[in-house]
């Protein structure tokens, strides 16, 4: 018995179409930001947003919450410190240094959020409130049903409009 979501069924075609739309959207959201001179990459934006919401967090916490290797996070944190966006406060070497945004880091994160919101606002400009409410509902419903697996958790931006 073939399940309705298996390859070759009309539902599979819809799954492929949804996937394709997500791919285009993610490309837009990541590549679009790079078009600006003082732009954050998606990884940088995610890192700064997490640190902003979790003052004093450590690289290990970022690693666990994003489901990525600690060395990857350490490299991103090092780059953010070098760029003057993040400060690593004194702390026990064993547990890692508490992180916080600098004024420069907060400013570039805020600027990125304002630009991204502006682009999204433009895309939604002619939508009726009912359509917008339904769209938000459907996105949240979809996100709540996606299985992240045991070794990975979702990006902790979790609908937070500040990052």
Residue pLDDT, tens place only, 58-116: 999 999 998 888 889 999 999 999 999 999 887 665 667 899 999 999 999 999 888 88
pTM more than 0.95: no
pLDDT given for residue 78 in this prediction:
93
Continuous segment of H or E residues that includes residue 116: helix 103-123
Q: With a cut of 60, say whether residue 117 has pLDDT above it.
A: yes
pLDDT tier at 160 (50, 70, 90 boundaries)? very low
pLDDT given for residue 16 in this prediction:
87
pLDDT tier at 148 (50, 70, 90 boundaries)? low
Over residues 118-142, the mean pLDDT reads: 92
Determine how β-strand 99-101 pairs with β-strand 86-88. Answer: antiparallel
Q: With a cut of 50, say whether residue 20 has pLDDT above it.
A: yes
Q: Contact 86/101 with Cβ under 8 angstroms?
A: yes
pLDDT given for residue 98 in this prediction:
92
pLDDT given for residue 118 in this prediction:
87
Q: With a cut of 60, say whether residue 56 has pLDDT above it.
A: yes
pLDDT given for residue 31 in this prediction:
65
More confidently predicted of 12 and 154: 12
Please, how many CA atoms are within 13 Å of residue 56, restricted to the half-sphere of its CB? 2
Count other C-beta atoms under 10 Å from residue 81's C-beta: 16
Integer Cα distance of 12 and 133 in angstroms: 27
pLDDT given for residue 102 in this prediction:
97
Greatest alpha-carbon span in the chain: 61
């Amino acid at each position: 018995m073939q399940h309705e979501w298996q390859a070759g069924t009309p539902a599979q075609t819809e799954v492929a179409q949804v996937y394709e739309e997500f791919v285009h959207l993610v490309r837009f959201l990541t590549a679009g930001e790079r078009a600006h001179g003082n732009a954050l990459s998606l990884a940088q934006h995610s890192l700064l947003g997490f640190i902003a919401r979790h003052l004093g967090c450590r690289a290990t916490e970022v690693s666990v919450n994003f489901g990525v290797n600690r060395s990857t996070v350490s490299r991103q944190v090092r780059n953010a410190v070098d760029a003057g966006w993040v400060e690593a406060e004194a702390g026990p070497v064993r547990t890692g240094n508490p992180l916080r945004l600098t004024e420069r880091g907060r400013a570039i994160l805020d600027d990125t959020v304002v630009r991204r919101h502006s682009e999204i606002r433009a895309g939604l400009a002619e939508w009726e409130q009912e359509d917008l409410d339904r769209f938000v509902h459907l996105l949240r419903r979809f996100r709540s049903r996606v299985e992240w697996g045991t070794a990975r958790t979702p990006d902790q931006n979790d609908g937070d409009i500040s990052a």
